[in-house]
Amino acid sequence: MEGYCEICHKWRTLEHHHVYGNGFRNKSEQYGAVVEICRECHDDLHHRHPAKYKWLKREWQDKLMAWNEWTEEDFIREFGRNYLL
């Protein structure tokens, strides 16, 4: 699928990326913590720029806490840790 990357905002072929991976992929799907990003940004998140990945997780923690009216403890119960620190 093509569209604008949610990170760099360039028109590209997009890939589905779960904000919280590994054991939390299903919860990412369940709560909508999935972004459409280009291959370059996807590689950045996983390999070249871990700070960018931390930023994305913090941003999504803020969103999920607001949308679901969660406390930090509620978020930790769902996703295993607090990314706001």
**One-character DSSP codes across 55-84:** HHHHHHHHHHHHHHT--HHHHHHHHSS-S-
**Strands of the 11-18 sheet, one edge to the other:** 2-4, 11-18, 34-38
CA-to-CA distance for 53 and 61, rounded, in angstroms? 12
Per-residue pLDDT tens digits for 48-73 = 998 999 999 999 999 999 999 999 99
pTM: 0.90
Where in the chain are the domains? 2-79
Per-residue pLDDT tens digits for 23-52 = 999 999 999 999 999 999 999 998 999 899
